[in-house]
Chains A and B, each alone.
Chain A
């Protein structure tokens, strides 16, 4: 380990480790030689090609260092070499589980520089697709989290619902994972006939299924035992590290960009009180533990369903894209737009000098920022909890490395 920082284990060996229900678990002090364990770069539970160098003293972790960059594809450099519209497909590929949200973030940043209005139906479809994609992304987040710590069945069930969601997206834009559907100035094309009623059918079924998943996984006794009181992020830590999204709300910080800095149609949706922001309460253990973060993601899926239903209720016919030329010349300037991705604040900082190509195209990936807290969370945890902690940060390595 090249870091010189010395870590103090957060668990005292004599006081024991608190468990849910007020009991304490004691460990026998078996100090051994410090051992370095390489988790990755291909460990299946790291959600991609990532390596965590763990230093362990017996079963107790004394230091952890994430090593990134195995999936670095130079997204920001590409952004400075291709035209504005040509960059859009690359945005799909950093957080490939929430490609619609990435498209939306990039389009909004460019639109802010252009200062153009988006047709209302396009905004409806954008919001609808972004929220559907959020459901799909959270299904994977929770499903693979269960898989990481040994619950195989819920993962398969959740993939069934996600498959349906992907089939819906395939119908509207032709792609299953990398959509490029949300374009600068609107969306690629209108929804095919009958698509909206299929979305409604999805919502009806999903509400029933969600209850099953909630009981099967989130409230499962074994799941709670594996995640409660583990990887506790305090309020101060969350703010210090700049965490966003469910990681922040898992520590009971009431912040959601959709409500607090409204963009697109979220202003109207908030006025109608169509959705709520679920906040963790430390119900099963300590506030800010792994279970709280998983719970926030599960609850957010139902809130997304409410937003989808609001859109289905209010959508009206109309144009879906403005008159956008093939080669865009963006007025000189710089803009930062942050939107609420399933993983947190996805920021795009774009700079134009008036030409056909961006001067700077910065992506602030929420996974990248959220992962940094790992170095702080791991020391003091048990080796077996490593996977539970990594899984609860819900990272997509395509985004940490970009």
Chain B
């Protein structure tokens, strides 16, 4: 199924939390500031309802997104007030993919964990939470995964400041 078909199906089964979608578009020749957008289309979902949304898509017989390929976050810029949560879904039976995006406010970066739907989200969410400071509510094991337990700050945030030293080791 192509993206339009998947999106129509999501709309017709009233999957929870869907707020919209975005597709790549050509640059506008009249407006020089509008450079268009390239790449993949995606579905916008409310982060607080992401687990329900994933469960709905996993169990729907014609979508069957049973494998979560990736869950990650993006900090678009320092000025932006939102973090993106990017999920890549894959259906082995129907042989199609879907990109899902959630906008999560930076001041209150708390959202429910998807581990109950896809257990593969467990490590991905741990990585997200240490790198971006997102709290996943209901996560069974919310420790750091790649960084040391006592690391200060969230390195992939755009406003991250590099530490001067770590346990007496100079980071310069």
Among B42, B74, B95, max chain A CB count under 10 A is at B74
Q: Is A72 located at the chain interface by the 8 A CB criterion?
A: yes
Which positions 320-340 of chain A face chain B at CB distance < 8 Å? 331-336, 338
A269 to B76, CA, bound (A): 39
Please name the residue on chain A nearest to B127 by beta carbon. Answer: A368
Stretch at the interface among A7-15, A83-91, A161-169, A343-351: A343-351
Contact A335-B118, Cβ < 8 Å, known A76-B156, A255-B92, A349-B86:
no
Q: A153 an interface residue at 8 Å Cβ cutoff?
A: no
Q: Is A364 located at the chain interface by the 8 A CB criterion?
A: yes
> Would A364 and B70 count as touching, CB distance under 8 A?
yes
B146 touches A347 (CB 8 A): no
- Are B74 and A359 in contact, CB atoms less than 8 angstroms apart? yes
One of B88, B144, B155 near A336 (C-beta < 8 A): B88
Q: How far is the CB of B24 from chain A (nearest CB, A)?
A: 6
A345 to B70, CA, bound (A): 10
Given contacts A69-B148, A242-B67, A359-B76, contact A364 B40 (CB under 8 A): no
Q: Is the CB of B146 within 8 A of A72?
A: yes
List the B residue with the shortest CB-CB distance to A338. Answer: B69
Contact with B along A213-251 (1 / 0, CB 8 A): 000000000000000000000000001111110000000
Asked whether A240 lies within 8 Å of B92 as measured between CB atoms, the reply is: no
Indicate with 1 or 0, residue by residue over A360-402, a CB within 8 angstroms of chain B CB atoms. 1010100011011000100000000000000000000000011
| Interface membership of A113, Cβ < 8 A | yes
Q: Which of A3, A115, A372 contacts B123 (CB 8 A)?
A: A372
B152 is an interface residue with CB less than 8 A from chain A? no
CA gap between A372 and B90 in the complex, in Å = 18
Interface segment among B2-10, B31-39, B103-111: the answer is B31-39
With both beta carbons as reference points, the residue of chain B lying nearest to A72 in the complex is identified as B146
Question: Does A333 lie within 8 Å of B37, measured CB to CB?
Answer: yes
Whether A77 sits at the interface, judged by CB under 8 Å, is: yes
Which single member of B39, B42, B69 contacts A364 (CB below 8 Å)? B69
- Interface size for chain B: under 10, 10 to 19, 20 to 34, or 35 or more residues? 35 or more
Given A336-B40, A369-B120; A69-B146 close (CB under 8 Å) = yes
Distance in angstroms between the alpha carbons of A254 and B66 in the assembled complex: 14
CB distance from A372 to the nearest CB of B (A): 5
Measured between beta carbons, the chain A residues less than 8 angstroms from B72 are 349, 362, 364
A59 CB within 8 Å of chain B: no
> Does the CB pair B156–A80 fall under 8 Å?
yes
B57 adjacent to chain A (CB < 8 Å)? no
A44 at the interface (CB under 8 A from B): no
Contact of B40 among A5, A334, A360 (CB under 8 A): A334
Q: Are B145 and A362 in contact (CB under 8 A)?
A: no
Name the one of A3, A115, A242, A255 contacting B120, with C-beta atoms under 8 angstroms.
A242
Interface string of B140-156 (1 = CB under 8 A from A): 11011111100000011
Asked whether A401 and B141 contact (CB < 8 A) given A114-B38, A253-B92, A359-B76, the answer is no
Question: How many whole Å from A228's CB to the nearest CB in chain B?
Answer: 26
Kindly list 14 other residue pairs between chains A and B, CB separation below 8 angstroms, not including A112-B40, A332-B36.
A112-B39, A241-B119, A331-B35, A331-B37, A333-B24, A333-B36, A334-B39, A338-B88, A338-B97, A349-B88, A362-B72, A364-B72, A364-B88, A402-B146
- Which residues of A does B touch, CB under 8 Å? 2-5, 68-69, 72, 74, 76-77, 80, 112-115, 239-244, 253-255, 260-261, 331-336, 338, 345, 347, 349, 351, 353-354, 359-360, 362, 364, 368-369, 371-372, 376, 401-402
A–B Cβ pairs within 8 angstroms, 14 of them = A2-B143, A3-B140, A77-B156, A112-B38, A112-B39, A239-B66, A242-B120, A331-B37, A332-B35, A332-B36, A333-B39, A334-B39, A336-B88, A364-B72
